[in-house]
Structure 1
Amino acid sequence: MTDSTWHGGAAAVVTLTFDVDAETPILAAGRRYADHLMTMSHQAYGPDVGVPRILELLAELGVPATFFVPGWVAEHRPGLAATIVERGHEVAHHSYSHRAPTSLGAAEERADFERALAVFDAQGIEIRGHRAALWEATRVTLDLIAEHGLAYDSSLMGDDRPYRLEVDGGTFVELPVHWSLDDWEQYAYLPSPQIGSVIESPRKVLEMWRAELDAMRQYRCLFNLCMHPFLTGRPSRLVALRELIEYAQSCGDVAFARCRDLAESAAADPTLLPRIPPTVTPDPGTYPD
């Protein structure tokens, strides 16, 4: 990777990403949960309390971020996306309803994808990137990204550096994710619908993420951190995030970028040759449905 340019000379690049899901992942599990007021208030904490708190932290530390927002959330909180953009950050596509693409037919997925784009277009929000709900992208997902001319996706796990994906409709950049850099596995808990079982200490999470960043600095990787404002927006967790950012800044060889800006750098990197999406054709006799 010595001739690559996507990293701009940094030992590692950090993308701070926030999935502003609000009520959508719970409603996707069943609209009956709309009457569960504890659950709905737990989710509303994200955009109503967590996002403003996160925006203040980012401003204090002078780092950019990308906020993946479902269209339903932007529609029901019409000033939210504009506020994020006005603070210098990026708003990106995170479906309309937060239903996993793997649970939808092709026509349903297209309708959901394009409904979100229509919401952002009506609000004057330019969309350059996408992240699938639950990271459960399908081949239809990738085709829609290319068809609508988006610059990047951030749903797959085929590398720990940016790479380019080639589908029939064109080529775009993949900014890969991983469960180890997601606060959901650390902090998420709800009794109904049942989500998680153990709420980890922010001290443990900070230690784990610092260790990953240090290793990624050795291998010149993308530290693509996925967080949720209703989780990381809680006080002790936000303090841990502050410590992580300050540690990265103190290293002197770590860069911070919005996903759209990193995707632009990656698209211009001649060493990132296009790959095709994973193609697996299982034998039905061996692997029945």
Structure 2
Amino acid sequence: MDADSLIHIAKPEDSHDRLYPISMGRYGPLVALPRILDTYRRLGLKQSFFIPGWCLETYPDVAEAILKDGHEIGHHGYLHEDPIKTRGEQREWFERTLDAHLRICGQKPRGYRAPVYNITHEVVDLMIEHGIRYDSSMMADDIPYRLDTEGGSLYEMPVHWGTDDWPPFAHYDEIGYMMPVRGPSQGLAGFWEEFEAQYDAGGFFMLIIHPFLTGRLARWKQVEAWIAKTQETKDVWFATLDEIADHMDHLQKDGIWTPSVERLPYYDGPILGDTT
């Protein structure tokens, strides 16, 4: 739930005067989120929300409603900033967000998703340092796996753009994203195909939605109908990512399953090296 953080990080000099993108972002927490929470409540679902720290501070009532219904809130940067900064800047943004979680949510987050999935080695190190147990920003497998570094390890709940609502539904000229918006049925059809493939493989499906996009009436009507139908499908488990991390712990403890492992860093430095 990024709300209007996107315009403030993209246009910091005059974002306060750009009313159209502010209003579009505010639709997420103020209109779409209550609709989404109502659906989850009626269908008995618990889900994971990733919210920038600034959004927690700006919309604390929304965070309270999410937690009251038993959902998880994960770390998503402070102002949806690009994490690729200096090591000191990354730490400042990361820990500022942790402070917001402690003040607004009363606890540290258990998971992290990088804004725009742009995770760095430094952020992985910060997660391990602060006891965050999983990330959800990388794309190296179809199912959850493990990241290992010299400093420790954490779980990875893999994402990919084929299950993210930004490509089919976002049209955001203020940040230079000018793409044709698809109709609800057309835009969502690809997600259902992704689910069917994962279901056939006994795998992992994670639909990534932004409330200000998919929380719009026509789109959410279709999502709700799909969720209700999928709940009737055999052997489908709806869970928070933290619950999935718990499940991974139990499977390994009982000797039932061992996750694949990605070791970081992938490379020690630039591949081209010094080209001067």
State the TM-score, normalized to the length of structure 1.
0.88
**Cα 1:288/1:42, change in 2 over 3 Å:** farther
Cα deviations by residue, 1:225-246 (Å, 9 ceiling, x for unpaired): 1110100110011011112212
Match of 2:25 among 40, 43, 50: 43
Match of 2:259 among 257, 272, 278: 272
Q: Give ranges in structure 1 of 5+ residues lacking alignment.
A: 1-19
1:44 alignment partner AA = R
User: What residue number does 1:189 align with?
Assistant: 171
**Cα 1:105/1:282, change in 2 over 3 Å:** closer
Match of 2:78 among 89, 96, 103: 96
User: What residue number does 1:15 align with?
Assistant: none
Alignment of 1:60 onto 2:42: yes
Alignment of 1:135 onto 2:123: no
User: What residue number does 2:154 align with?
Assistant: 172
1:119 alignment partner AA = A
User: What residue number does 2:6 align with?
Assistant: 25
Cα deviations by residue, 1:160-218 (Å, 9 ceiling, x for unpaired): 10001112321111000000000011101123232231111111133211111111012
Map residues 164-243 of structure 1 onto 2, 5 A cutoff: 164-243=146-225
1:116 alignment partner AA = T
1:190 alignment partner AA = Y
Q: Distance in 2 between matches of 1:206 and 1:61?
A: 20
User: What residue number does 1:159 align with?
Assistant: 141
Greater share of strand residues, 1 or 2? 1
Match of 1:83 among 40, 56, 65: 65
1:221 aligns to what SS in structure 2?
coil
Q: Distance in 2 between matches of 1:27 and 1:218?
A: 42
User: Once the 2 structures are TM-superposed, how far is the Cα of residue 46 of structure 1 from its aligned partner?
Assistant: 0.6
Q: Give ranges in structure 2 of 5+ residues lacking alignment.
A: 253-257
Q: Distance in 1 between matches of 2:164 and 2:16?
A: 26
**Contact 1:185–1:196 (Cα < 8 Å) also in 2:** no
Alignment of 1:112 onto 2:100: no
Q: Distance in 1 between matches of 2:275 and 2:113?
A: 29
**Contact 1:173–1:267 (Cα < 8 Å) also in 2:** no
1:223 aligns to what SS in structure 2?
coil
Query: In the comparison of the two structures, how many residue pairs are matched?
Result: 268
Cα deviations by residue, 1:55-79 (Å, 9 ceiling, x for unpaired): 0011111111111010000011222
Q: Distance in 1 between matches of 2:270 and 2:78?
A: 31
Q: Distance in 2 between matches of 1:272 and 1:196?
A: 39
Q: Distance in 1 between matches of 2:192 and 2:172?
A: 27
1:75 aligns to what SS in structure 2?
helix
User: Once the 2 structures are TM-superposed, how far is the Cα of residue 251 of structure 1 from its aligned partner?
Assistant: 1.5
1:113 aligns to what SS in structure 2?
helix
Instruction: Report the more deviating stretch, 162-171 or 40-49.
Output: 162-171
**Cα 1:288/1:215, change in 2 over 3 Å:** farther
2:251 aligns to what SS in structure 1?
coil
Q: CA RMSD in A?
A: 1.7
Q: Percent identity at matched positions?
A: 37
1:118 alignment partner AA = D
